[in-house]
Amino acid sequence: MIVKMKKLTLLCTRSSREETLATLRELGVVHLQHIQPPEGADLEEARNLFAHLQRALEVLPKHTHTAPSGKTPHETVKAVWELIHRKQALTEQIEALDMEIRQYEPFGSFSPETVHELAERGVTVRLCKLPLKEIPDIPEGFTLAELSRDRSTMYAALIGRGQFSIEVEEVGLPECSLDDMNRQLETLRSELEQTDTEFHSFAGDRTVVVALAGDAEDRVHYLEARTGMGAAEAVTYLRGFFPAEQEKELRETAAKRGWGALVEEPAADDPVPTLLRNPKWVSPIKAALDLIDVVPGYRELDVSALFLIFLSIFFAFIIGDAGYGFLFIGLTLFGKFKTKGKKAAQPGLNLMLIMSAATVVFGVLTGNYFGIPIESLPRLLQMLTNSYMTGWTGTIWNPDLAASHIMLICFSIAVVHLSIAHLWNIVRKINSCEALVDAGWLFCTWSLYTIVLELVLDVALYPFVQTVKLPLIGAGVLFIIIGLLLTKAYIGIITLLLDIISNFVDIISYIRLYAVGAASLAVAQAFNEMAMGVGFDGMASLGAALILFAGHGLNIILGAMGVMVHGIRLNTLEFSGHAGVEWAGIHFNPFRKKAVLEK
């Protein structure tokens, strides 16, 4: 549910500005909208300090049991920054020296001092690179000493008395020998390792640095709020949004502090932030929304519950393996045990439990356990499968029939998913002519669904469906046009044909659930066959085990990527496009003090 917001305009005297901001921060319920861009020397300095501390936190190790160094937080940050600069300098020196070594390696190890001594005696030695296809003529009296070569280039030294002119790529002498360079490189790498060790010695101070960074962030937010206020003579004012349920408390505080407070409904063009507050069973979806960093607009639909339900279904279809599902459940339960008491980690783990349970159900029904063929499964697991989804009758397995049935289920999920979007909009807009547009798209979606079944799956429709499918899409188009005319959205009429094609493509798009799941099954079966080819006798069993581990591990990673690309896409693009959700919301971020900045 998207929490109802109210708009606040608050006035106070210039002399009470600091006290007002401190009180508002203690209340922690107002999302500020700056009257003017926050800027100023103090704010810039605070931002730099915060960035300074953030960088220090990035390099401090996490989750260690190192004892504190005994330094104060500021001394720790100063020492860490010295290490950061030292590490950066060492890294740059190592990279430069490594590049120089690679440049001179083809010429071998020699002493530049010797070359300089020869030059004093009139002997010229020049390093050069010559293309093998076109080696130029060597001047008379000079010797070309080949040092090494690769596929296209000869690395050589030209030796002789006097000066010469020749079209070759010369390489200047190094400052020291190749052996000296390698010794310098080892010394620098040793110093870099020592620097990393010193970084770890401050791991025990991470907690106090986190607290210091939290204070610095609070300082930044405070100065942003102060410099973002408006002013008129002796009065300063600010503007923001707060949950409507907090109105009584805000009014009482305003009366007590002597503020002028104007509370009103947000205007249509106000950038109202979105605060989601869902039932406990829906809360796990917060992890997915935070991961992709999206939130519905204040005036859009809160699709959190549907997002959770259908993402779990999509996850099950894409992963599709009961064995993987049980593995995920085990790892998730272990994760919940290790993060017990850490509230921030629970939504993600709970979401994983729900999706893994859905995967187990789907995998059991389709008889998929680590890609093992159905006929090789124990009799009990075969009995738990669904013949419609597997094409397995107990003696005969028809994978083509099963694939057709799974695709039919995917298209059916599509029409249900998209229909929910339009039905929801019809209910919301029932008193508006816009409801006619969604009713028209609802009719079109079901009609296009029957066309998809005929074209893709060659499904023979019932005579009644054959009779009504064209009138149904005609009625849908009529409803859409009437709704667009009544709402004066004339551009929609111009793009109507393209929108109908897009609707058709959206339904087809759900076939990706079958395609990615089938690919995952094929990968699992391929690695199983490779392992069986190696065999499980003697030492060969070790190789087979490694193939299975690596193969199924890779398959799980690809499946997770598939969920991110396809499972989330179907919710945030296809469904959201039909529901009118643009995910253009602003996160509700009230002005309040943060006790800890987690990194």
Strand partners, 230: 237
325-359, pLDDT tens digit by residue? Answer: 999 999 999 999 988 888 888 999 999 999 999 99
Q: Give the chain's mean pLDDT.
A: 91
Residue ranges per domain, the chain? 110-176, 301-579
> Residue 64 has what pLDDT?
63
The three-state DSSP-derived secondary structure of 535-596 is CCCCCHHHHHHHHHHHHHHHHHHHHHHHHHHHHHHHHHHHHHHHHCCCCCCCECCCCCCCCC
Q: Which residue type is seen at 27?
A: L
219 has a pLDDT exceeding 90 = yes
Is residue 452 pLDDT above 90, yes or no? yes
For 503-513, write each residue's pLDDT tens digit: 999 999 999 99
234 DSSP assignment: T
Asked whether 493 and 485 are in contact (CB, 8 A), the reply is: yes
Among 196-205, 211-220, 228-237, 500-509, name the one with the lowest average pLDDT.
196-205
3-state class (DSSP) for residue 327: helix
pLDDT tens-digit map of 426-449: 999 999 999 999 999 999 999 999
What are 493-504's pLDDT values in tens digits?
999 999 999 999
Instruction: Give the tokens for residue 589.
Output: 């971020």
Evaluate if residue 225 carries a pLDDT over 90.
yes
Residue 61 token pair: 């190790």
**Predicted local distance difference test score (pLDDT) of residue 598:** 42
Beta partners for residue 134, in sequence order: none
Cβ contact 583:304 at 8 Å: no
Predicted pLDDT at 384: 92
Q: What is the predicted pLDDT for the residue at 90?
A: 95
Q: Which of 276, 327, 331, 329 shows the shortest CA–CA distance to 304?
A: 276
Higher pLDDT, 374 or 318: 318
Average pLDDT of the segment spanning 405-412: 95
Whether the CB-CB separation of 347 and 387 falls below 8 Å is answered with: no
User: Do β-strands 260-264 and 169-171 pair in parallel, antiparallel, or remain unpaired?
Assistant: unpaired
**Structural tokens at position 201:** 């010695």
65 exposure class (CB count in 10 Å sphere: 0-12, 13-18, 19+): exposed
pLDDT at 344: 84
Is the pLDDT assigned to residue 395 strictly greater than 80? no
Question: 348-354: long-range contacts (C-beta < 8 A, 24 or more apart)?
Answer: 348/284, 348/287, 350/283, 350/284, 350/287, 351/284, 351/285, 351/287, 351/288, 351/308, 352/328, 353/284, 353/329, 354/284, 354/308, 354/312
Question: pLDDT-based confidence at 70, cuts 50/70/90?
Answer: confident
**Count of Cβ atoms closer than 10 Å to residue 295 Cβ:** 21
Distance CA 588, CA 30 (A): 9
Quickly state the pLDDT bin for 405 (edges 50, 70, 90): very high
Q: In which region does residue 56 sit, left (phi positive, over 0), alpha (psi from -120 to 50) or beta (all else)?
A: alpha
For the residues of 72-90, what is the DSSP string, one character each? -HHHHHHHHHHHHHHHHHH
Cβ–Cβ contacts within 10 Å for residue 397, how many?
Answer: 15
Dmax of the chain from CA atoms?
A: 106
Integer Cα distance of 550 and 543 in angstroms? 10
Residue 540 has pLDDT above 90, yes or no: no
Average pLDDT score over residue span 377-388: 90
Question: What's the sign of the alpha-carbon dihedral 509, 514, 515, 517?
Answer: positive
Question: Beta strand pairing status for 230-232 and 169-171?
Answer: unpaired
The rounded distance, in Å, linking the Cα atoms of 12 and 280 is 40
Cβ neighbour number for residue 395 with a 10 Å cutoff: 6
Question: What pLDDT sits at residue 276?
Answer: 93
Which residue in this structure is represented by tokens 């499980």?
536
Strand partners, 127: 157, 171
Q: Token pair for residue 472?
A: 């149904």
Per-residue confidence band for 597, with pLDDT thresholds at 50, 70 and 90: very low
Beta bridge partners of 262: 9
**Cα 362–567–451 angle (5° rounding)?**
85
DSSP string, 398-439: -HHHHHHHHHHHHHHHHHHHHHHHHHHHHHHTTTSTHHHHHH
Lowest mean pLDDT among 32-36, 223-227, 458-462, 583-587: 458-462
Average pLDDT on 224-251 reads: 93
d(CA 563, CA 313): 11
Residue 370 to residues 114, 521, 553, Cα–Cα distance (Å): 67, 8, 11
Q: Are 291 and 265 in contact (CB under 8 A)?
A: no
Mean pLDDT over residues 158-162, rounded?
Answer: 84
Asked whether the predicted pLDDT for residue 167 surpasses 90, the reply is no
For residues 273 and 589, is the Cβ–Cβ distance under 8 A? yes
Under a CB-based contact definition with an 8 Å cutoff, are residues 236 and 12 in contact? Answer: yes
Percent composition of the chain: helix, strand, coil (DSSP 3-state, to 5): 65, 10, 25
Strand 31-33, strand 260-264: pairing = unpaired
HSE (side-chain half, CA atoms, 13 Å) at 49:
18
Digit-coded pLDDT (tens) for 178-198:
999 999 999 999 999 999 888
Identify the sign of the CA torsion 215, 221, 225, 226: positive
Q: Is the pLDDT of residue 394 over 80?
A: no
> Does the pLDDT value for residue 307 go beyond 90?
yes
d(CA 546, CA 540): 10
pLDDT at 66: 77
Say yes or no to pLDDT of 599 above 70.
no
29-43, 251-265, 464-478: least confidently modelled range: 464-478
Q: Phi and psi at residue 140, in whole multiples of 5°?
A: -65, 135
The overall pTM is greater than 0.85: no
pLDDT band for 57, please (50, 70, 90 cuts).
confident
The percentage of residues in the chain with a pLDDT greater than 70, rounded to a whole number, is: 98
In this predicted structure, the answer to whether residue 595 has a pLDDT above a threshold of 60 is no
Q: Tally the C-alpha atoms within 13 A of residue 130's C-alpha that lie toward its C-beta.
A: 22
Which has more pLDDT, 185 or 167? 185
> What is the pLDDT confidence band of residue 568, given thresholds at 50, 70 and 90?
very high
Contact at 8 Å (CB) between 303 and 573?
Answer: no
Nearest-CA neighbor of 6 among 34, 30, 41, 25? Answer: 30
How many angstroms separate the CA atoms of 545 and 530, rounded?
10
Find the distance separating the first CA and the last CA of the chain, reported in whole Å. Answer: 29
What is the average per-residue pLDDT within 216-227? 94
